[in-house]
Structure 1
């Protein structure tokens, strides 16, 4: 995991990045019309297409994250006691980023005195 957050939040982050990149490309392309007039229309058209492709990628990523979210395992985080979703054998809490697992072989057991 890249930013040490839950897997579903990672997918949503990539969707947001594709959205911002797509919008940025389209705005950058529109600047071609303002700066170069008639010749900038080709520049704008090319960057509009690239921006639209990035926006469609973001829609796909958000759709994929939504589909994964519907089949995710719901459990209560042992740290913050809030319900969170878990993908795969190991994941992190969506709220406090505590490492979670359903596999007893990968679980860490700490003995608390008392």
Structure 2
């Protein structure tokens, strides 16, 4: 099983990866200037700076989107760890202990349902 996180944390992770990737692209782009490759080095630096800028601006959009989703998320207390967490959609995971949470009993995980309900659905 892959380790999963809550949806809000997944969006934040993508924003962080885009930020770090954009900054790495910008650093790689400076190689053309540092090694004094002349006009070719300046073109390489400009291309990588623009790609890095696009990546950083995209990450800013992802962070903004995650923030807007976070403000409208349902806040509840996790039954497993007791901490307050946010739920996006019908099924999500706790931000802290990764327990599957559901607002709709029909979408609850099989372990959380009583055994008589599981027998009726089969």
How many pairs were matched up?
110
Q: CA deviation at 1:3?
A: 4.2
- The more displaced of 13-22 and 99-108 is 99-108
Q: CA deviation at 1:31?
A: 1.1
| TM-score, normalisation: structure 1 | 0.91
In structure 2, C-alpha distance between the alignment counterparts of 1:71 and 1:95, rounded to whole Å: 19
Q: Which runs of 5+ in 2 are unaligned?
A: 116-122
Mark the structure with the bigger radius of gyration.
Answer: 2
Give the corresponding residue for 2:76: 75
- The more displaced of 29-38 and 70-79 is 29-38
Tell me if 1:17 matches 2:21: no
Q: CA deviation at 1:51?
A: 0.2
- The more displaced of 9-18 and 34-43 is 34-43
Equivalent position SS for 1:58? helix
- Measured against aligned partners, the alpha-carbon deviations of 1:13-49 in whole angstroms (never above 9, x if no partner) come to 0000000010000000011111243221110001000
Runs of 4+ in 1 over 2 A off after TM superposition: none
Query: Cα 1:49–1:3, aligned 2, differ >3 Å: closer, same or farther?
Result: farther
| TM-score, normalisation: structure 2 | 0.86
Give the RMSD, CA atoms, in angstroms.
Answer: 1.4
Q: Which runs of 5+ in 1 are unaligned?
A: none
Map 1:41-80 → 2, pairs under 5 A: 41-80=42-81
Give the corresponding residue for 1:30: 30
Give the corresponding residue for 2:88: 87
